[in-house]
Homo-oligomer: A and B are copies of this chain.
């Protein structure tokens, strides 16, 4: 029936995205294709959020009935996978610096912007097939290209790509938490309540953090909410840059160690 895996062993969404699914020959011409369906889904998610993406809404967007979509995708899950691939499309030739580490940092920035532009990407079910999708491969390819000059194993480079993209995503996630009301940016009362339970005795390390940052500044203090938000935002930026710097510095150390070992 609506099996999720091709006879070839590939997840259906992967095969579809690569154009590996043979199209039927006998019947009437098809009115849709995977591409248009994925685009419609992305459009709805961009406009109204991921929750608004239903089989019915996507079909309506395309002027077809709900069930017609099942001629193309075997489940909503497959639709979401196709949307993911569609949504992470990189510029074909993004003009990244060819030098290390500028190249990889620029690459990271593109990844980061992709998540910023479509936060719903982070709400998609974690997909074991995502790494095989065309645009994921393409993005990785571009990242690898910025490391062409580095004397590392290929799978080490892959590891670095993975680490960096993961980092970019998690910082966008954090950024978003700060922006949402009820997330980390809460009312003074909320902070006050937390301070009663996150005490210096129970969390000694955190005590330092609390006094160092504006995490729970004196209640009724002089800082207005706008200023607090600005601080938070700068913090995220700092964390992002820090992580990137740590990773690239680590890579430099690794490369140098290898070179020294080789003599």
Chain A interface residues (CB < 8 Å from chain B): 4-11, 15, 18-20, 122-123, 125-126, 128-129, 131-132, 134, 137-138, 140-141, 144-145, 148, 153-156, 158-160, 162-163, 166-167, 170, 173-174, 176-177, 180-184, 186-190, 192-194, 196-198, 203-206, 208-209, 212-213, 235, 238-239, 242-243, 245-254
Contact = CB atoms under 8 A, between A and B. Distances in A.
A245 B239 contact: no
Nearest to A187: B9
A187 B6 CA distance: 10
A224 B29 CA distance: 43
17 contacts: A9-B182, A10-B186, A18-B194, A18-B197, A123-B126, A131-B184, A137-B198, A137-B203, A141-B203, A141-B205, A155-B209, A159-B243, A163-B167, A163-B246, A166-B167, A246-B246, A246-B254
Contacts of A148: 205
A67 to B, nearest CB: 24
A6 B192 CA distance: 13
Nearest to A235: B155
Contacts of A9: 182, 186-190
A21 to B, nearest CB: 10
A194 B9 CA distance: 11
A206 B141 contact: yes
B155 A239 contact: yes
A109 B208 CA distance: 25
B158 A162 contact: no
Given A20-B197, A137-B198, A249-B254, 9 more contacts: A5-B182, A9-B188, A128-B173, A128-B183, A145-B204, A159-B238, A160-B246, A246-B246, A249-B253
A144 B205 contact: yes
A186 to B, nearest CB: 4
Nearest to A144: B205
A153 to B, nearest CB: 7
B206 A140 contact: yes
Contacts of A213: 154-155
Contacts of A122: 126
Contacts of A170: 162-163, 166
Which of A15, A184, A190, A212 gathers the greatest number of chain B CB atoms within 10 Å?
A: A190
